[in-house]
Amino acid sequence: KAGVTQTPRYLIKTRGQQVTLSCSPISGHRSVSWYQQTPGQGLQFLFEYFSETQRNKGNFPGRFSGRQFSNSRSEMNVSTLELGDSALYLCATKPGTSEWETQYFGPGTRLLVL
């Protein structure tokens, strides 16, 4: 079974620009969650999509948004980029039908904002 894929792997943007990141889940997984990892902050939860609907949301500003398509692929968008948005963005997927499921992570997209 193919794993979780994320594109692109690396990205450099400048302040004020916007960026779109993509996540393709493991086949059969309908839940996709997004996380931001910065040094010392662990994995901060952004949001979770299940069957094209946002099911959970973290405490991030509205500049961070996402969506999920009918094939369960998900995109995350960050508008008006700030220097502090530089981070590793990880997506994680699971079947999504049970609470106690193991989540599987992609390799992440490293975003650098200059």
Partner 1 sequence: DQQVKQNSPSLSVQEGRISILNCDYTNSMFDYFLWYKKYPAEGPTFLISISSIKDKNEDGRFTVFLNKSAKHLSLHIVPSQPGDSAVYFCAAIESGTYKYIFGTGTRLKVLA
Task: List interacting residues with partner 1 (CB under 8 A).
Answer: 4, 31, 33, 35, 40-45, 48, 50, 55-56, 90, 92, 96, 99-100, 102-108, 110
Residue 8, preceding peptide bond in cis (omega within 30° of 0): yes
| Token pair belonging to 65 | 């948004």
Contact predicate 39/89, CB 8 Å: no
Angstrom distances, CA of residue 18 to CA of 7, 63, 85, 97:
15, 9, 11, 33
**Cβ nearer to partner 1, comparing 6 with 19:** 6
At closest approach, how far in Å is the CB of 80 from partner 1?
Answer: 26
Neighbours of 93 (CB within 10 A): 27
At closest approach, how far in Å is the CB of 26 from partner 1?
Answer: 12
**Cβ nearer to partner 1, comparing 58 with 79:** 58
At closest approach, how far in Å is the CB of 34 from partner 1?
Answer: 12
